[in-house]
A and B are shown apart, each in its own frame.
Chain A
Amino acid sequence: MADVVVEQGRVVRATGGRKGSSLRNALGRKSTVAFFLTLPLILLIALLVLYPAFYSVYLATLNKAMTKFVGLSNFTFLFKRETFWMVVRQSCIFAITAVIFKALIGFIVAHFVHNIPAKGQRKWRGMLLVPWVIPPAMSTLAWLWLFDPSYSAFNYTLSFFGVGPIPWLGDTFWARFSVILVNVWYGAPFFMIMYLAALKSVPDQLYEAAAIDGANWWQKIWHITLPMMRNIIAITTLFSLIVTFANFDIVRILTSGGPLDTTHLFATWAFQVGIQSSDIPLGACVSLFMVPILAVAAIFILRDVTKRGNEA
């Protein structure tokens, strides 16, 4: 369709050659119309994404007082700092461990909910989604009280069993454990609801066929459920990996990166270095390190989505 119009446009230009008609033709093209219709969104993205992105690249090349261009020396400075490598390690441990447990718990809970009779299922689904719908900053405050070393519900309960008190947020191991725990608590419902939707889309007859073919429950999960959910599992895992990697609020509220910076993630450390220690170029530099790692994950997601699109 568009080609025909372009052809007509050429003919008009060849004979008449007037500016007005070629403009009218250009406006008549489908691609032009599409461009103008999407222009507001393109501008919005440019304003909110591209501008800050390039601005932070620019910031990362300045000195601490932001008066002088220093090239890549902020980056080389970071490479030499032990804390930086600890943050890289902690971000990876945090994101990978949390995503694995979120996926695992989400998968198991989705199975339980799937097997609840339809009547009570809605109620359970609603209740299990609660952690995910409460703003994390608020729910993390509640966790902060639960983790309090002297008066918290956790340590009080444990004292009956002769355990503790556990320094939930004061010890490196327990602090790392706690931030991951809260992240899993917050994120598992998302996996649950996605996996529940995927489970509902697997036809019952496949399980019946497998039962007749001689599969036990584990073989049904391994040979039917998991392969049928493969796409959903891949997309949710990668999506969650990005979001978890870039997490800020949980660590910020629970530990502020402590003890001794051992629970810092990229986002919280960038905040501490850039805003709290007033070295904005170095903070920008830290946050830029997330880009290559997240870009790889994003490429995987997009590739998977296109593959799914082709299959359908």
Chain B
Amino acid sequence: MADVALRKVVKRYDDIEAVRGIDLDIADHEFIVLVGPSGCGKSTTLRMIAGLEDISDGDIMIGGDVVNDVPPKDRDIAMVFQNYALYPHMTVAENMSFGLRLKHYPKAEIKARVTEAARLLDITDLIDRKPKQLSGGQRQRVAMGRAIVRNPKVFLFDEPLSNLDAKLRVQMRIEIKKVHQKVRTTTVYVTHDQVEAMTLADRVVVMNKGRIEQIGTPNELYHKPATRFVAGFIGSPAMNFIPCRLEDVGGALQIRLTDRIAFALPPARATRYNALPRTDKLLLGIRPEHLTESHAHLGPGVESFETVLDVTEPMGMETLVYFGLDGTPICGRVDPNAGAKDGAPMRLAMDLNNMHLLNEATGAVL
């Protein structure tokens, strides 16, 4: 096991820069998830750590050693691929032991390691089967088993769950977490699914257009996003962004959303935003769960307003409501018993204690 460090890593394909100077420190035993939309450079970054792609600039270190020019086989890493990449002509046991056999491990040790990994992943019964005879979830386990038996310094996962159906994906997500709790190997995991990222990671790295937008624990990213991209990417349904401006009314600071709707800011927020120029074009970022049905007694910092719902989506445990404010589509989450109906007027409450204020031009969270 080892720590991994990336120093100003760049990857260029002809004139396209896929990865633009990434700095990342991954501690020993840590589970790091790289997340972002397709084409953001996350898979390329992982493949550079694996040694499957050359790096154009910068340094990659595993366990303190620079591995820029070390071939994959000498990096002591294991990788799980999106389509598993199991050797179709080998049995499960042969697939798992392939790396050990190439390194001429004693037969008894190979057998012991394979048996142990198979037990850990609950695939002992499948050990003599060929990959073709396995289901998607079983193949996924074998691919993980192949990584585990090697006992490498670092595990690399390249979107390992995207070929599974929704139910199996949840199940395997939990399996991966359990395995990591047992083996504690440093792990770099790539996904485009923010739920996977949030549930698995010790720390999440959000990437966009070849750059790192933010690194943080799942909670930090959720509650304190640094940029509009992170705020919009993490969380489902996504955060609402409402154009707004700040106003001084009778010595108090208020935020105006439309000609009709303006709210006084809670004291903590007012002091934080007081220094901002009043002319700036701003965006109010508010998550759907902070837009709920209104009650008779609203807490401090919670403001209510009247609107007409466009569409409602009953989900069982909650109902999603969609409406517009001056043409901006907005989503809220209300109690299923709150009486939300398509096309009906409804009084909603906005919790400004959980609001974010963003600069529209730069996308920075203020």
Which of A's residues lie within 8 Å of B, judged by CB? 203, 205-206, 208-216, 219, 223-224, 227-228, 230, 311
* Of A215, A223, A224, A311, the contact of B73 (CB 8 Å cutoff): A215
Are A224 and B87 also in contact (CB < 8 A) when A212-B50, A213-B102, A214-B73 are? Answer: yes
Residue of B with least CB distance to A203: B85
Are A228 and B78 also in contact (CB < 8 A) when A205-B83, A215-B73, A223-B98 are? Answer: no
A-B pairs, 7 with minimum CB distance: A213-B99, A205-B85, A209-B85, A214-B73, A227-B89, A211-B72, A214-B102
Does B114 have its Cβ within 8 Å of any Cβ on chain A? no
Are A214 and B83 also in contact (CB < 8 A) when A208-B52, A228-B89 are? Answer: no
Across the interface, do A223 and B87 meet the contact criterion of CB distance under 8 Å?
yes
Query: Which residues of chain B are near A208, meaning CB under 8 Å?
Result: 50, 52, 72, 79, 81, 85
Report how many residues on chain B are interfacial, defined by Cβ distance under 8 Å: 23
Are A209 and B103 also in contact (CB < 8 A) when A215-B73, A216-B73 are? Answer: no
Query: Which residues of chain A are near B58, meaning CB under 8 Å?
Result: none
Does B237 have its Cβ within 8 Å of any Cβ on chain A? no
Across the interface, do A213 and B81 meet the contact criterion of CB distance under 8 Å?
no
Residue of A with least CB distance to B143: A209
Across the interface, do B102 and A205 meet the contact criterion of CB distance under 8 Å?
no
Does B88 have its Cβ within 8 Å of any Cβ on chain A? yes
Are A214 and B87 also in contact (CB < 8 A) when A205-B81, A209-B79 are? Answer: no
Across the interface, do B99 and A214 meet the contact criterion of CB distance under 8 Å?
yes
Does B71 have its Cβ within 8 Å of any Cβ on chain A? yes
Q: By CB atoms of chain A within 10 A, which of B83, B98, B150 has the most?
A: B98
Residues of B214-265 contacting chain A, CB below 8 A: none
Instruction: List 9 A–B pairs whose Cβ atoms lie within 8 Å, in order of A's numbering.
Output: A205-B81, A208-B50, A208-B72, A209-B79, A209-B81, A212-B99, A213-B98, A214-B103, A223-B87
Does B77 have its Cβ within 8 Å of any Cβ on chain A? yes
Query: Which residues of chain A are near B99, meaning CB under 8 Å?
Result: 212-214
Query: Which residues of chain A are near B81, meaning CB under 8 Å?
Result: 205, 208-209
A227 to chain B, nearest CB (A): 4
Query: Which residues of chain B are near A211, meaning CB under 8 Å?
Result: 51-52, 71-73
B100-112 contact mask (Cβ, 8 Å, vs A): 1 or 0: 0011000000000
* Of B71, B73, B87, the contact of A206 (CB 8 Å cutoff): B87
Residues of B56-105 contacting chain A, CB below 8 A: 71-73, 77-79, 81, 83, 85-89, 98-99, 102-103
Q: By CB atoms of chain B within 10 A, which of A208, A209, A228 has the most?
A: A209
* Of A206, A216, A223, A311, the contact of B85 (CB 8 Å cutoff): A206
Q: A131 CA to B264 CA in the complex, in Å?
A: 85
Q: A206 CA to B86 CA in the complex, in Å?
A: 7
B140-158 contact mask (Cβ, 8 Å, vs A): 1 or 0: 0000001000100000000
Given pairs A212-B51, A212-B73, 17 additional interface contacts (CB within 8 A): A203-B85, A205-B83, A206-B85, A209-B146, A210-B98, A211-B52, A211-B71, A211-B72, A212-B52, A212-B77, A212-B79, A212-B99, A213-B98, A213-B102, A214-B99, A214-B103, A227-B87
Query: Which residues of chain B are near A205, meaning CB under 8 Å?
Result: 81, 83, 85
